[in-house]
Amino acid sequence: MDPTWTGIIGLLVLFVLLGMRMPVAIVMMLVGFFGIAYLNSWDAALSTLADEAWVITSNYEFIVIPLFILMGNFASISGMSRDLYGAAYSWFGHWRGGLASATIAACAGFAALSGSSVASAVTMGRVALPEMKRYKYSDRLATGAIAAGGTLGILIPPSTGFIIYAILVEESIGRLFLAGVLPGLLLTVLFMISIAIVTKINPKLGPPGEKSTMAQRGQSLVQAGPMLLIVLITIGGIYGGVFTPTEAAAVGAMLAFLLALFRRRVNQKSTSRVLLQTIRTTCLAFFILIGAHIFNPFMALTDIPSDLASLLLDANLPRTAIMLIIMLAYIVLGTFLEGFAMLVLTLPIIHPLIVELGYDPIWFGVVIVIVIEMGLISPPVGVNVFVVKGIAEDVPLREIFAGIIPFWIAMAVCLVILLAFPEIALFLPDTMIQSFD
């Protein structure tokens, strides 16, 4: 059978198995293994299975994954989420829609510690939703702000999405982290502008809260100071060439642990929970990476990436039009696939095309993370919306989906800005004192 048709059949089998709720890592391993065996040989398939598993699990640089996950888990038990929300509330709470803006700001701060959109949405949602309900915020705005704010977790470094992307396309984790800083701040501001606009149109959606004194604001910043210090040390250390990303992850995890210890949040039960959560998440990430590195050689053998690149290039479409087609495809996939799954399934096909079109892979990493998160809050099946539904059980799904519309538009505006001005994402990586590859 022609390699291209073999690849198409392999992709069809893959999506059928995913539709049967099989784990994405297992599906990629099965399809990749049998595809390589058919197109090459059983010996090649067995060798790929053994070699890739060993390479992924024994690579020292990949320890950055469990270390940043550990940092986020210690940050969660240390009470930082409540401190961040308190600081944001003291500065923005008296605005119309101020509690929603405070939620966005707190999510951005927590994103710099967790690296996960789901973790950011769940953690901040449990803190912010009761407060917004107390001030009679509309369910639509309250849940929409939590769902949208959570998406910042995979964009603002340290982002597990960037780590997975960097490993899959062999780019610098440090450069990707820095590339996400300014777009993350830009998207945070756009979210807050969206809240200001909708509450200007309908003030009943988000009544203002109580105004804090300057003393209260100062005290809130002192409370949130340790978190800001950890972020400054880890991300600033990477930018300044003091740390590699792996060293920054180790330092950040240790500082988060010391803070939790200082606040007397560390005991046998909490430590066991943190370690088990870290192990589970790390195993899941590594399992997916192993599956991707078995699936990728199969895709290369099928010639689908090169065929797709040739097809689109021969169509003489402007490269911006091709990029918009790719973005639309990711948004559609995001309605029913988890973000990591999309990255590992599509990058073997899409990344060669991006390089062929002349786009910077670092810039594309930022863009694709935003597009993935747009998909994850898009109807009809947006995955992140169901995460928020788990927190706000009394809010109908249609209200949550309606609530994310202004934020979805803000994300689209952010993408347009990044398409027009790619320097926003590339400025910090290009001015690094030292690049870590």
CB 211 within 8 A of CB 94: yes
In order along its 437 residues, the chain shows pLDDT tens digits of 778 889 889 888 988 887 787 887 888 899 999 999 999 899 999 998 888 888 888 877 788 888 888 888 888 788 777 787 888 888 887 788 888 998 898 888 887 777 677 777 777 788 888 888 888 889 999 999 998 888 888 888 888 788 888 888 888 888 998 999 999 999 999 999 999 999 999 988 888 877 888 888 888 888 878 877 888 888 888 877 788 888 888 998 899 899 899 888 889 898 999 999 889 888 887 888 888 888 878 887 887 777 777 777 777 788 888 888 888 888 877 776 666 777 877 887 888 888 888 899 999 999 998 988 887 788 766 667 877 888 888 888 888 889 999 999 999 999 999 999 999 999 988 886 444 44
Q: DSSP letter at 242?
A: S
User: CA–CA separation, 429 vs 175, rounded Å?
Assistant: 5
User: CA–CA separation, 56 vs 239, rounded Å?
Assistant: 26
Q: Could you give the C-alpha distances from 71 to 64, 113, 125, 212, 255, in angstroms and in order?
A: 10, 7, 20, 31, 8
Output the 3-class SS for 160-184: HHHHHHHHHHCCCHHHHHHHCHHHH
User: What's the gap between Cα 346 and its chain centre?
Assistant: 16
Q: Could you give the C-alpha distances from 433 to 171, 239, 250, in angstroms and in order?
A: 17, 7, 21
Domain ranges of the chain: 61-266+303-430
- Report residue 3: phi and psi, to 5°: -55, -35
- The per-residue b/e assignment along 91-102, b for 16 or more CB within 10 angstroms, e otherwise, is bbbebbbbbbbb
User: CA–CA separation, 176 vs 170, rounded Å?
Assistant: 11
User: What's the gap between Cα 372 and its chain centre?
Assistant: 8
CB 90 within 8 A of CB 220: yes
CB atoms within 10 A of CB 54: 11
CB 366 within 8 A of CB 179: yes
Residue with tokens 């689109």: 312
Half-sphere exposure of 278 (CA within 13 A, CB side): 23
Query: Does the CA dihedral 139-140-145-148 come out positive or negative?
Result: positive
Q: Could you give the C-alpha distances from 98 to 123, 131, 143, in angstroms and in order?
A: 19, 11, 14
3 state DSSP class of 267? coil
